Structure 1
């Protein structure tokens, strides 16, 4: 038997202390978009074998984890197709080079991505393009079960582009069924929509006039009807999520400018062209977060980040605000702007009230460490572990603390182990645990992420540390339980003499 060194074990209720302008943030959303359309991020080529695609995906998650990313938006539907086993849509061309062709040997990319993400304590959000059906007409042959073949009457056509008609109730129900299929059959942490609603260009004119006549729902103005078409789908999706898996997060990433008059910009008005209406989504609380794409520099002539950021931050209405950054442009070696632009934007986010984090487009800027961007995240901005921010409107009940915490010494190793507690008041168990270490006598502050030395993966209830890392003689170890939505238990502590 190992000699136990348990000196103190007790439960503490830990006060929360804010570090609003520190790199030691305990809760911050740190995301990356993984785009599969056109093989932007993954797979790098649709000709790769199953084994090669798997290796790429695993290496990609390794790189994102090393950089401090805690959430990934994994694109699973690019143009009414699927990078997962779908009941409704064909396998993606971007996966196998032929729409409708399953991977050989077979595997499920979404299931693999979920497994790889969760093994690294990274949230996996299923990213859907809700309306795009054919990115470029004639680029490749559609599968026999593609919506453009089975229900062409549900589509709107613009030059070489096709999309599902947002005003058609059958098309809307189809989108809802596609999303629900993923929600019910995969252990995703979130459902995510991007900015493609009505087309960027050419602007819609009379392509949906017959749909408006038939399905206007009593709305007289066609522009208002178009916005309501999108809003109605978002309401229905949020309702389905909350009915079936209320712990799953739902959010949208709109174009960064809604109307120029709102933030004093001089760019593209998405409200009048794309017909997206994020103010309604926030006012009606039919999203859990909003993620505007603020892809311009802080002092951009037409769309300055420094104007758009505070405007968006003023709208949150009790929902989270994450900011989309164009890292694939600003970290590119050809970028002519300030090389510190991305870092300065992260700093500005952290000093702006109601901003809970950043998401980078796209993952390759991190995975390939363009201009040292991943290194900068790892050694500076994301040096310490951060949990995604809590969503109090979803769940505030913490899990129970770990049970029977023990500390042993075995040669040069310090070993902590504990047992899983019972269910909390809401029936939920911990999904993992956080181990903190403090110098004995130091103030215990659980909001200082620099004190986190380990976050376990699911099912893990042991931590081993080499004594050679310890520089003083007495330490306090503290372990807490974490549930799926980031609620944290009271801490269990033990003292260790080196």
Structure 2
């Protein structure tokens, strides 16, 4: 009788938790941005750098994150096998003995994580031989007098040859690597002027972060608008506003937007499951340092019209929980919600990017849980990406997060697409190794395509993939096994599994298997339901 009461009590508790989960479901994007120098060092041997990558993936898994945003193009140099651009500074400008992107993808998928290739677009400051700035100095942005940038170089989004070249560089990654997403950074015009930017160490150019500028830089930008590097050899200030436009501002925004649109179309034609995302400035079109009017980045337009699949604002201005909810929807019209409603209605992902390094610098690291909780109260936000990995690593925060505000595993939110066909459900078998050790095997319905196999555990007989507790997510196209260790043998648990495609379209639940407080069979055999899919019954005889 006591066991029955205990079971009923725990089912009631689980139901209460499930109500909370149902409000936000069990899908939530979680990642950090991993900068080049956080995953590779030219003074390390290949084994040491590969160990860095393994640790990065292990840390993300410990935090119950489900994605990594991994920088592979920086300043016009590559951290992968590129036929267009040279290896980067942190690789010593030479092949480092392994392919960082290929190895990162392998380890990410092994750890149940997506890998998004982080791609700096128009910021190409390096002049090492083979880089765009070295090979095509005519592409570099110019001021109103026609003088090109001499530091913090950017190539002009207004030049068709720049856009075509950069799309080719990006598409080489899409075609040659099994990435889950391509993530655009510096997808905008530059913020620099012809004052105060002449003598800069190359390493300073390399380590400049997108997302925020200092108050002094903003003041200089506002005080010297005529000194902005917003022109090129084919679109000179002296020639007037380009034909077909009523202002330079509209032309600047159009030039970036057409690049994004063309790249998205190119990806869709080759690998439509690869999601295109953009790191946009934290303020869309209001007050000071903002995307729309300062660097001519119309992220809301891209998001609303489907030119990107996922928008990731760099939300570095805010360090309080109320500040985040304010910029999302409480402080409208200085908020995101009113500008992105069509994109939200379409189901595309909008995720928030707290600047963890800013919280660290301001000695308010402890605010992370409250910030996460407040952002979660806004039901249209689908997750988080934190800047950056090193801040979390130096604060030993991955395990802490995985045991607190990220204690439950989550799936990546699905991507709306024309291929929204649910995969067939998998089969699940259980083998009790002993009273507390359950060996689970998932058999996917097809082994032709890669995807994600997900195992759920619950005491609630009504649990579904929308609210069930996830205990394992693995990237596979073949059978997987997972061993679950029970803490209480008096309780009866059920397990079920699903499989998803690369868009995270999820199948119906598999057959359900159960633990038992009594002796359990140690052998099983699965009889294939044939002819599939006409026979919906799966027989699992136990011995």
What TM-score, normalized to structure 2? 0.76
Give the match for residue 89 of structure 1.
85
Q: Per the alignment, in what secondary structure is the counterpart of residue 355 of structure 1?
A: coil
Cα distance in 1 between the residues matched to 2:450 and 2:154? 42
The Cα of 1:209 is off from its aligned counterpart by 5.5
1:67 has 2:63 as partner: yes
1:175 is aligned to 166
Q: Report the equivalent of 2:512.
A: 493
Correspondent of 1:392 among 408, 412, 416: 416
User: Retained in 2: the 8 A contact 1:247–1:394?
Assistant: no
1:158-197 counterparts in 2 under 5 A?
158-195=149-186, 197=188
Alpha-carbon distance in structure 2 between the residues aligned to 1:56 and 1:422: 34
Distance 2:229 2:371 in 1: 40
Aligned to 1:6: none
Give the direction of change, closer, same or farther, for the CA distance of 1:206–1:119 in structure 2 (3 Å limit): closer
CA displacement at 1:409 relative to structure 2? 3.0
CA shift digits 1:208-245 (9 cap, x unpaired)? 16422589352242221111110010000010011111
How far apart in 1 are the matches of 2:391 and 2:266?
34
TM normalised by structure 1 equals 0.83
Q: Residue 198 of structure 1 contacts residue 274 of structure 1 at CA under 8 Å; is this kept in 2?
A: yes
Q: Which residue of 2 aligns with 1:465?
A: 484
Please point out which of 456, 460, 472 is paired with 1:436. Answer: 456
Question: How far has the Cα of 1:24 moved from its partner?
Answer: 8.0
Which residue of structure 2 lines up, in the alignment, with residue 4 of structure 1? none
Matched, 1:149 2:134: yes
Pair 274,206 (structure 1): closer, same or farther in 2 beyond 3 Å: closer
Distance in 2, Cα, partners of 1:457 & 1:209? 45
For the residues of structure 1 that align with 2:390 and 2:320, how far apart are their CA atoms?
25
Gap runs ≥5 in structure 1: 1-16, 136-141, 261-265
- The residue aligned with 2:492 is 474
Residue aligned with 1:162, SS: coil
SS in 2 for 1:293: strand
Deviations 1:113-140 (A, max 9, x none): 10010111111111111011116xxxxx
Change (3 A) 1:117 1:209: closer
Segment of structure 1 superposing worse, 64-73 or 173-182: 64-73
Helix, strand or coil for the counterpart of 1:51? helix
**Does the 8 Å contact 1:76/1:110 carry over to 2?**
yes
Report what 1:3 is aligned to: none
* Cα distance in 1 for residues equivalent to 2:187 and 2:481: 45
Which has a greater percent of helix?
2
Aligned-pair CA distance for 1:442: 4.1
CA contact (8 A) 2:69 2:117 kept: yes
Query: Over aligned residues, Cα RMSD in angstroms?
Result: 2.6
Q: What are the Cα deviations for residues 266-304 of structure 1, in whole angstroms up to 9, with x where unaligned?
A: 43133222111112212322111111111133559xx94
- Mapping of 1:27-42 within 5 angstroms? 27-36=27-36, 39=37, 41-42=38-39
Q: State the match for 1:282 in structure 2.
A: 303
1:414 aligns with 2:438: yes
Q: 2:95 aligns with which of 97, 102, 105?
A: 102
Q: CA deviation at 1:430?
A: 5.8
Q: SS state of the match for residue 484, structure 2?
A: strand
SS of residue matched to 1:211: coil
Does the alignment pair 1:455 with 2:473? yes
How many residues align? The count is 447
Query: Residue 345 of structure 1 aligns with which residue?
Result: 371
Tell me, which stretches of 5 or more residues in structure 2 are unaligned? 1-16, 142-147, 194-220, 222-226, 330-334, 518-543
Q: Shift in Å at residue 35 of structure 1?
A: 0.9
Q: Residues 217 and 179 of structure 1: is their aligned pair in 2 closer, same or farther, counting only changes over 3 Å?
A: farther
Distance in 1 between the 2:409 and 2:132 partners? 43
**Distance of aligned partners of 1:306 and 1:336 in 2 relative to their CA distance in 1, 3 Å threshold:** same
Q: Aligned match of 1:272 in 290, 293, 304?
A: 293
Task: Report deviation, 1:49.
Answer: 1.4
2:172, 2:23 → 1: CA distance? 39
